Chains A and B, each alone.
Chain A
Amino acid sequence: MTSWGRETELPPLLLLEPDGLVRGTVVAVCRDLELAHVIPVTSSQQALKVMRQAELSACVLSLSERELALDIISRLRNGEFRSPAELPVAVTSGSADAELAQVLKSLCVRRMLLKPFKIRDSIITVESLLKSSWVFS
């Protein structure tokens, strides 16, 4: 198991995911594989708080509270948080349409995972986001 000290050396990643089983599994796998120090939250309000306080390497946001989550990404792109405006972002959603796809494109969202997605795919997405985050570090 990764020690706390070592875990905090890993790139910080914000995960907004309301499903406890998905959230806990992603956190555990990222820790086990030493991919990221995941900061898990269950609501957009909590995600906003983390965005205000932490400098992140990437984030994965559920769109279960779609307007709030999109507002967070928009404010990120406007440079309102501690993280760089170019922070790599992926989203998860229970549905998708052309309008949402257009909004996500305008917000430079790297990837959307449609629920129910596999943990494997979310981990591959995390890896991809963190690789691209190196460009901005």
Chain B
Amino acid sequence: MITPPTPENEDERLAALRDLGVLDTGPEERFDRISKFARSEFDTPIALVTLVDHDRQWFKSNVGLDVSETPRDVSFCGHAILEKEVLVVPDAKLDERFHDNPLVTGAPNIRFYAGAVLRSPEGAPIGTLCVIDSNPRSWNPLDTSILCALRDVVADELAKKESKP
């Protein structure tokens, strides 16, 4: 397993994340609706809106998992936020970054992951909208486009929260 590298702008990234004021807030229908939509669109058992904090990834919306956060050092999303747009892992067991990750070798037995990078209004990578399956899968440019379009809706919703007085 390879732990997620720390982004160069980590302090600014964490400041942008905290400025949103979303961490550790309760579930909200406006985010859950998008997660449910993504799960249905991609036929995956799990869809999440994740925010990557200093030492954890926390789920603002969680469809299909029974935990509210996981350690950052085993998170897929910790890797995803280093990407420009999307991280796709067709089969985690064949990927050196994840093959012996405890989230792969044990529950929820992740095999497939696709996460689109969520950015703060200033452009800092703060988390993802991701879909996860316990079976390996293929992925194509149309899937990427759809996931990014849904990700943009999540980002708009986060910005609305941020713009509130």
Chain B's interface size range is 10 to 19
Report the minimum CB–CB distance from B24 to chain A (whole Å): 26
CB nearest neighbor in A for B146: A119
> Is A119 a contact partner of B41 (Cβ separation < 8 A)?
yes
Question: For B40, B41, B145, B148, which residue has the most chain A Cβ atoms within 10 angstroms?
Answer: B145
Residue of B nearest to A25 (CB): B149
Give the A-B pair count, Cβ closer than 8 A.
36
Q: Cβ of A123: which chain B residues have Cβ within 8 Å of it?
A: 142, 146
Instruction: State whether A120 touches B146 (Cβ < 8 A).
Output: yes
CB-CB < 8 A to A25: which residues of B?
Answer: 146, 149-150, 153
Mark each residue of chain B from 137 to 164: 1 if its CB lies under 8 Å from any CB of chain A, else 0. Answer: 0000111011011101100000000000
Enumerate chain A residues within 8 angstroms of B34, measured Cβ to Cβ: 21
Distance from B48 Cβ to chain A, minimum over Cβ atoms (Å): 17
Interface residues of A in 95-122 (CB under 8 A from B): 116, 118-120
In the complex, the answer to whether B153 meets A32 with C-beta atoms within 8 Å is: no
A21-B33, A21-B34 are contacts. A120–B142 as well, Cβ < 8 Å? yes
Residues of A within 8 A of B146 (CB): 25, 29, 119-120, 123
B152–A28 touching, CB < 8 Å: yes
Q: Is the CB of B153 within 8 A of A24?
A: yes
B37 touches A120 (CB 8 A): no
Which residues of B (16-72) have their CB < 8 Å from a CB of A? 33-34, 37, 40-41
| Interchain CA distance A90-B63 in the complex, whole Å | 32
**Interface core residue of A28, A116, A123 (most chain B CB under 10 Å):** A28
Which of B34, B148, B149 has most chain A Cβ within 10 Å?
B149
A18 → chain B closest CB, angstroms: 15
Contact (A33, B141) CB under 8 Å given A21-B153, A25-B150, A28-B149: yes
- Choose from B33, B37, B40, B149 the contact partner of A29 (Cβ within 8 Å): B149
Chain B neighbourhood of A116, CB < 8 A: 40
Other A-B contacts than A32-B149, A118-B40, A120-B143, 13 sampled, CB-CB below 8 A, are A21-B34, A21-B37, A24-B149, A24-B153, A28-B148, A29-B145, A29-B146, A32-B145, A118-B41, A119-B149, A120-B142, A120-B146, A123-B146
Give residues in A with beta carbon < 8 Å to B: 21, 24-25, 28-29, 32-33, 116, 118-120, 123
